[in-house]
């Protein structure tokens, strides 16, 4: 099979096309013919081995390979068709169109991917193409996790910082769906998209700092690792909740203190990306309550350009790599 591989850490140019043996599923696994995979910020961070939060570096380097990557095929979020199922897998069958997460196994940047049948794999709603479906799991699962943990009540004021990215663009839609008044913060080129996704107010962070205004929020969902902690907490109302996607060790310690000794709560748990959450998204997509946000689509041979696009931060939504030859 064809795969996009990288054999050492570095710039997008380390990505190249190569032939790899097609995997075959064990009894508890399924084989998926991948049609599309999202090129995510996390893929770029694993490729370059540069993370916005420094404490990630050592544990991830030990897990992913000290001198070179152990798993040379990136891609944690994908859409495709099941072609084979192991004897123990009852709930999936060849021909099923599925989308989902391969978790830390990655491997979505290849024509075929084997995953345990119990992983988060759900049927693609009929109104979505493979490309659109591949754009959903990362942003949708992480945004749903944060928005649910925030326990948003109708009418609450919710601010999404980094709203134009993969996670933020779903967080805006979900916060709106949960009845919030949504303020989206990102750069100016994303303002029109954010309004279209439902944001009531849009702030260009290069022009204004929401922390300096008198407005206060019930919930801040923060995708930006460099956010100052103290002034973000100050922008919360009493009983407000602050959700951090990218917490540093210092911020985690301060979070425990804030939660313990004030009415405000700071939450930073990683998303479990469960099947139940994916099925919730599937239903929301089917009923048109949320939509996939695709920026550009690249063929496998242009994977390096897909990563450059993600790293340029100019994108509006998800960058998707078309894996199979089928264009849809």
Ligand X SMILES: NC(=O)c1ccc[n+]([C@@H]2O[C@H](COP(=O)([O-])OP(=O)(O)OC[C@H]3O[C@@H](n4cnc5c(N)ncnc54)[C@H](OP(=O)(O)O)[C@@H]3O)[C@@H](O)[C@H]2O)c1
Rounded Cα distance between 22 and 239, Å, is: 53
Nearest to 83 by CA among 23, 29, 30, 26: 30
Q: What is the DSSP letter of 208?
A: -
Q: Return the SS3 of 81.
A: strand
Rounded Cα distance between 184 and 205, Å, is: 10
Q: What is the DSSP letter of 110?
A: B
* CA distances to 63, 118, 171, 236, 267 from 233, in Å: 33, 39, 19, 5, 12
Among 166, 183, 258, 282, the residue binding ligand X under the rule CB under 6 A is: 166
Q: In angstroms, give the least distance from the CB of 131 to ligand X.
A: 17
For residue 148, what are the contacts with CB-CB under 8 A and spacing of at least 6? none
Q: Hey, which residues between 33 and 62 contact ligand X (CB under 6 A)?
A: 40-42, 45, 52
- Looking at the Cβ atoms of 6 and 112, the one nearer to ligand X is 6
Q: Hey, which residues between 171 and 190 contact ligand X (CB under 6 A)?
A: 185-187
Q: In angstroms, give the least distance from the CB of 20 to ligand X.
A: 26
Q: Report if residue 88 touches ligand X, rule: CB under 6 A.
A: no
Q: In angstroms, give the least distance from the CB of 292 to ligand X.
A: 14
- Gyration radius of the chain over CA positions: 20
Pair type for strands 201-204 and 181-186: parallel
- Looking at the Cβ atoms of 227 and 258, the one nearer to ligand X is 227
Segment contacting ligand X (CB under 6 A): 31-39, 121-129, 162-170, 252-260?
162-170
CB-CB neighbours of 11 under 10 Å: 12
Q: Hey, which residues between 245 and 274 contact ligand X (CB under 6 A)?
A: 245-246, 270-271
**Residues 121-150 as x/- pattern, contact with ligand X by CB under 6 A:** ---------------------x--------
Q: In angstroms, give the least distance from the CB of 42 to ligand X.
A: 5
- Looking at the Cβ atoms of 187 and 262, the one nearer to ligand X is 187
Q: What is the DSSP letter of 89?
A: -
The contact set with ligand X (CB under 6 A) reads 40-42, 45, 52, 142, 161-162, 164-168, 185-187, 205, 223-224, 245-246, 270-271, 313
């Amino acid at each position: 099979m064809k795969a996009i591989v990288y054999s050492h850490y570095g710039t997008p140019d380390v990505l190249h096309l190569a032939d790899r043996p097609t995997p075959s599923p064990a009894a508890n696994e399924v084989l998926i013919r991948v049609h599309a995979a999202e090129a995510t910020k996390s893929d770029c961070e694993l490729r370059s081995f540069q993370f916005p939060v420094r404490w990630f570096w050592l544990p991830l380097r030990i897990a992913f390979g000290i001198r070179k990557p152990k798993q040379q095929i990136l891609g944690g979020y994908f859409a495709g068709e099941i072609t084979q199922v192991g004897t123990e897998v009852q709930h999936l069958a060849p021909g099923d169109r599925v989308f989902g997460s391969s978790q830390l196994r990655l491997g979505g940047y290849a024509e075929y991917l084997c995953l345990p049948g119990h992983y988060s794999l759900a049927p693609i709603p009929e109104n979505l193409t493979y490309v659109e479906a591949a754009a959903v799991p990362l942003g949708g699962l992480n945004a749903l996790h944060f928005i649910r943990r925030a326990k948003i009540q109708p009418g609450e004021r919710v601010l999404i910082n980094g709203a134009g990215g993969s996670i933020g663009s779903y967080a805006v839609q979900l916060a709106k769906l949960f009845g919030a008044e949504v303020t989206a913060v990102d750069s100016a080129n994303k303002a029109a998209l954010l309004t279209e996704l439902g944001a009531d107010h849009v702030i260009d962070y290069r022009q204004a700092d929401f922390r300096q205004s008198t407005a206060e929020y019930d919930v801040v969902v923060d995708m930006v690792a460099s956010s100052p902690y103290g002034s973000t907490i100050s922008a919360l109302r009493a009983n407000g909740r602050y959700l951090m996607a990218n917490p540093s060790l210092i911020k985690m310690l301060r979070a425990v203190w804030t939660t313990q000794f004030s009415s405000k709560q700071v939450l930073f748990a990683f998303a479990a990306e469960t099947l139940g959450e994916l099925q919730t998204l599937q239903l929301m997509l089917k009923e048109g309550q949320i939509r996939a946000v695709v920026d550009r689509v690249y063929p496998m041979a242009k994977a390096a350009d897909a990563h450059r696009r993600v790293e340029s931060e100019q994108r509006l939504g998800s960058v998707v790599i078309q894996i199979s030859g089928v264009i849809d």
